[in-house]
Amino acid sequence: MNYVSTRGGIAPIPFQEAVMMGLARDGGLLLPESFPDVRDKLAGWAKLPYEDLAFEVVRLFADDIPADDLRAIVRKSYATFSPVPPAPDQAWTGPEVAPVRPVGPVHVLELFHGPTLAFKDFALQFLGNLFEYVLGEGGRELNVVVATSGDTGSAAIHGLRGRRGVRVFVLHPAGRVSPVQELQMTSVLDDNVFNIALAGTFDDAQRIVKGLFSDLPFKDGHHLGAVNSINWARVLAQVIYYFYGAFRTMERTGAKEVSFVVPTGNFGDVFAGYVAARMGLPVRRLRLATNENDILSRFFASGVYSLGKVVPTLSPSMDIQIASNFERWLFLHAGRDAAQVRAWMDAFAKNGSLEVPRAADGSLDATLCAGRADTAATLETIRRFHADFGYLMDPHTAVGVSVALASGDADGGAPVVCLSTAHPAKFPDAIGRATGDASLATEPRVEALKGAPTRKFPLPNDLRAVADFVAART
């Protein structure tokens, strides 16, 4: 399996090289040359434990890693999760790292049982082990630079802390992540971890990271690596739980297909579901859900991808206007026409907007659609599901569930699986506003962080300042 750039400027490369390259050297994003058709494998995969399913999916894309080595990487990656007993009404009897809970009209795929209580752990525990494997014993080093809107940073730190030959530089928007998210990052004092509090938004942080990677002499000279979802391995690791969630839901309901609703800001998580559908997973509909920062939901309603102003919300991991993974969808939508993608991205860089022609029936994509939930709807969803079903959800998950209900996806047809992307204990302020009791949002690992010593490095919103900081420590 070889990988190509969405902008067509590099020769095809194998998996391990794609992992280490992160952002393609021509400024594009890497994708496999084709997606494998796994429809004939679904029945055999349906009963596999998560770890075994992960191996089967990843091996299709990572054929330059020997099978025994890949099994060891996968096994180590999910050993850090807290296995959850299956629900009593489910035939599946093994412990789960990604349980599916039937809650009222929806099925909730819980992706917060990893070490930092967020879905990013699924990819970043895997990627940390993958980096260590590729670097090997040869004395090579990697300096990971990552932008975060909240959860990616802590998951990256916990996936890379103490790793041989790896340093990690995390840029978070100062004052724009939840207190728990900040504490999860800044309380890690390992020598190879550097937390940068950037005076700007997540989009500013992401722009700076892309700027560092686009400066090829700097990237090469300082051995930069990426763990943001610009790295294909991040997306690949997230593809797995779409298969797992669909299998568990179809097993419980007897359905032949499912729909997913995905809270998203950077388009990486929902794109992983899009890949799963391309591979043959029976997905009726894949609906992305945004908060007030709705560039993606506006696009799928209008065909115009146009910048707006970033608005701080209760779901800060989605407070994004420039969705980096959107370029991957554009590439597939254009029939892998890299020249067309370059033209679109040049227009966006120049004008802050781009427009994609619709099909004859007026649609943009037969599988993918979108919806939006504002703060009031988010709070009401948290309140209602806690009151009616005794289920507490974080505000990002509530955005997804709210969109599922408003769209009618949950009213019949295929069962609807809503991705729950973070533990509610990470957002006690939102839980307090919704329910009147912030103390409901507790979790022992979060409580243990309170009062811990912290370390962070405030920097201005300036590419040169960040480059100098990285250079001085590598």
CATH of the domain at 354: 3.40.50.1100
Residue 434 included in any domain: yes
**303-356 pLDDT per residue, tens:** 999 998 989 999 988 998 889 899 999 999 999 999 999 999 999 999 999 999
Whether residue 137 is predicted with pLDDT greater than 70 in this model: the reply is no
Tokens of 19: 């992992």
Residue 61 included in any domain: no
Residue 219 included in any domain: no
Residue 165 included in any domain: no
Task: Using the Cα atoms of residue 75, residue 78, residue 79 and residue 85 in order, give the sign of their dihedral.
Answer: negative
> Measured between alpha carbons, how far is 20 from 370 in angstroms, rounded to an integer?
32
Token match 């007030």: residue? 292
Judge contact between 224 and 22, C-beta under 8 A. yes
Which secondary-structure segment (H or E) carries 468?
A: helix 463-472
Q: Which domain holds residue 318?
A: 100-115+233-440
> Measured between alpha carbons, how far is 163 from 395 in angstroms, rounded to an integer?
32
Residue 192 included in any domain: no
Residue 469 included in any domain: no
**409-436 pLDDT per residue, tens:** 877 789 999 999 999 999 999 999 999 9
Active site residues: 120
Question: Nearest to residue 262, comparing CAs of 123, 155, 153, 401?
Answer: 401
Task: Using the Cα atoms of residue 132, residue 135, residue 141 and residue 146 in order, give the sign of their dihedral.
Answer: negative
pTM for the full model? 0.93
169: helix, strand or coil: strand
For 436, residues 6+ apart whose C-beta sits below 8 A from its C-beta are none
Judge contact between 100 and 410, C-beta under 8 A. no
Tokens of 134: 């590729």
Residue 386 included in any domain: yes
**Could you tell me where the DSSP H helices lie in 254-305?**
268-279, 295-302
Of 93 and 375, the structure prediction assigns the larger pLDDT to: 375
Question: Nearest to residue 153, comparing CAs of 232, 228, 241?
Answer: 228
Judge contact between 300 and 288, C-beta under 8 A. yes
Number of folded domains in the chain? 1
Task: Using the Cα atoms of residue 204, residue 232, residue 189 and residue 176 in order, give the sign of their dihedral.
Answer: positive
DSSP E strand stretches across 311-352: none
Sheet with 224-225, strands from edge to edge, namely: 224-225, 142-147, 166-173, 193-198, 457-459
Mean pLDDT score of the chain, rounded to an integer?
Answer: 94
> Measured between alpha carbons, how far is 30 from 224 in angstroms, rounded to an integer?
16
For 172, residues 6+ apart whose C-beta sits below 8 A from its C-beta are 147, 148, 149, 150, 153, 181, 182, 185, 195, 196, 197, 198, 202, 205
**What pLDDT score does 92 carry?**
62
**34-90 pLDDT per residue, tens:** 999 999 999 999 999 999 999 999 999 999 999 999 999 999 999 999 888 776 666
Question: Nearest to residue 173, comparing CAs of 199, 194, 155, 209?
Answer: 199
- The residue type of 321 is Q
Residue 169 included in any domain: no
Token match 């989605």: residue? 318
**What pLDDT score does 136 carry?**
85
